[in-house]
Amino acid sequence: MDSSKMTSSHPDIIELSKLLNRLPIHDIRPDEVKFRNPNGVNLKLNNFKAFDPSYSGKGMENYGKLDKQVFDEFESDTDRLHKIAERIRAVSQDLDLAIELYKINEEDDRAFEIREGTVIYKLHKYRERDSDIIKRKKEREFQRLGRLPCEACTFDFYQKYGQLGYKYIECHHRTPLSEFSTSTTTTLKDLALVCSNCHRMLHRKVDTLSVEGLRNILAS
């Protein structure tokens, strides 16, 4: 957008405000009128002018460190930025999906490195909770191996806990967050069976760490 058109009354700013308010992130809004309103959205966007080399003006002075981090990350990778924005926009337009994502607790994952954003991360966790395909994944692996070991560390719940752990294992979606979309169809090969500890470690760097990468960390 032309920086001269970045005003709270611009149609694009108004539409962006509506989109942000539709996202399944904030169930608590201290001020319904001011929350993500066009004025606030416009001010946030104008913060980027302070360190945009293509902008000849001075820009806002009260920007935060995160504003600069976001700008630096995407300034030279606009293709990835557009892909993420399209995925987030698709979620905002699917009311049924948004309702399901609202139900997903972030489980204190705020400390995790989720570069692709909370919306896509929730979509990742939503795909991991497809009980039908998870059941098929477990059944296939159990028929193949006769047990359900963790694909990262080989931990076996049944071996450790006996009958209590029989056929228990968690499922991790292998697809990188950068490739997740509302149209993503989960297949058996997209899922990895992992123990609870390895699953948490994978989610700490969910957009960069693969099951194979975690396995290599453990081996070293």
Structure confidence by residue, pLDDT tens digits, 86-119: 877 877 777 777 767 766 665 555 444 555 467 7
The residue out of 14, 42, 76 marking a domain boundary is 76
Closest CA to 139 of 152, 151, 148, 130: 148
| Contacts for 86 with CB less than 8 Å, ≥ 6 apart | 181
Give the number of domains in the chain: 2
- How far is the C-alpha of 152 from the C-alpha of 209, rounded, in Å? 12
The pLDDT assigned to 140 comes to 96
158-184 as b/e: b if 16+ CB within 10 A: beeeeeeeeeebbbbbbeebeebebee
- How far is the C-alpha of 172 from the C-alpha of 125, rounded, in Å? 9
Establish if 173 belongs to a structural domain.
yes
135 and 204 share one domain: yes
Angle (CA) 147-149-154 rounded to 5° is 145
The residue out of 76, 91, 118 marking a domain boundary is 76
9 and 68 share one domain: yes
Establish if 86 belongs to a structural domain.
no
Establish if 162 belongs to a structural domain.
yes
Establish if 164 belongs to a structural domain.
yes
SS3 label, residue 211: helix
Cα 93 to Cα 120, 147, 160, distances in angstroms: 14, 42, 45
Across the range 194-209, mean pLDDT stands at 90
- Asked if pLDDT for residue 124 goes beyond 80, the answer is no
3 pLDDT band (50/70/90 cuts)?
low
131 and 214 share one domain: yes
The parent domain of residue 68 ranges over 3-76
154 and 214 share one domain: yes
The pLDDT assigned to 111 comes to 45
Establish if 40 belongs to a structural domain.
yes
How high does pLDDT run on average in the chain? Answer: 82
- How far is the C-alpha of 47 from the C-alpha of 67, rounded, in Å? 7
58 and 131 share one domain: no
Establish if 42 belongs to a structural domain.
yes
Is 0.85 topped by the overall pTM? no
| Contacts for 126 with CB less than 8 Å, ≥ 6 apart | 97, 100, 101, 104
